[in-house]
Amino acid sequence: MPEVVHPDGRAHIDAALVKRLIATQFPQWSGLSVVPVEVDGWDNRTYRLGTDMTVRLPTADHYAPAIDKEHRWLPVLAPPVPVEIPVCLAKGKPSDGFPYNWSVRNWITGETADHAHIPEEAEFATQVGEFLRALQRVDPTGGPVAGVHSFYRGAPPAHYDGETRRVLEALAGRIDTTTATAVWAAALSATWTGRPVWFHGDVATGNLLARNGRLVAVIDFGTCGVGDPACDLVIAWTRFSGESREAFRHAVRADDGTWARARGWALWKALIGLAEHIDTDAQRAAINRRVIQNVLADHKRST
């Protein structure tokens, strides 16, 4: 069967494809239901397989390496961390028109950790920080060094210097680019000199699962690797504020340099999002503008 892709180059994925892949490669599970998850991602598509498993399929070439990486390293990362992370049960191969490796994992019960499910934000922020500290203590020997596979998360933010400066120029007169430029300069100058540690790479609300208001699981390690952990602190400005931000910083024990680089990571991503949506999607633009304002205000308080 020929490969089927969307006009944007992403693989076509639906429940029928997943059923075919399971039937062909893992017939012991062919009688189980296949249902899209309620909250899905862009880099990968996830389907619930029966009641206890999920199927995860990358949508494009640049996300495909994560399947092998997670199969290799999730079993190493799981024992030391204080919450659940996905368990890889099987790895599928390209077949039936789907061009990438894919995986079968366990189903983790929990709610996406948006504000409605978290009554005590400062306590939750502490739990996220404690997870990251535990992750950073895992032996990094042989781990995947930050680079293309992690979209350069874990590397110095200078990798995105040219892109950031172009977006700052494009947004001149629409945000406080003077302070934003100072934030970016501070991030670049706060050179990281620590030993490489494990980072998750995408610590965001959608990848944090809660039960009864507590963090119980962290999912989607596709951009994980070994390097500078500053990229994992972006949630300080995208999700936390005030007391919860301080609780998070205390729990993760971020020094001034790490915090400055983290502000740079948060600023870079929000600038890109704002530039993309500022004239086309008011809601998304407002979200990114809020993150930028949070970052700039935090920088001003620190200087």
Q: Is the domain 112-302 a CATH 3.90.1200.10 member?
A: yes
Q: How far is CA 252 from the centre of its chain?
A: 17
CATH number of 15-108: 3.30.200.20
Query: Which tens digit of pLDDT belongs to each residue from 201-233?
Result: 999 999 999 999 999 999 999 999 999 999 999
Q: Which runs of consecutive H residues, i.e. helices, occur in the chain?
A: 15-25, 65-77, 121-137, 161-170, 177-189, 235-238, 242-252, 256-277, 282-302
Query: What distances in angstroms separate CA 150 from CA 21, 156, 211, 291, one per listed residue?
Result: 27, 12, 29, 22
d(CA 29, CA 25): 9
Backbone angles phi, psi at 76, to 5 degrees: -75, -40
The CATH 3.30.200.20 domain(s) of the chain lie at: 15-108
**Contacts of 214 by beta carbon, 8 Å cutoff, 6+ apart:** 123, 124, 127
Average pLDDT over residues 129-135: 98
Query: Which tens digit of pLDDT belongs to each residue from 240-289?
Result: 999 999 999 999 999 999 999 999 999 999 999 999 999 999 999 999 99
The answer to whether 24 and 96 have CB atoms below 8 angstroms apart is yes
Hey, CA dihedral for 6, 89, 77, 70, is it positive or negative? negative
The CATH 3.90.1200.10 domain(s) of the chain lie at: 112-302
pTM assigned to the model: 0.94
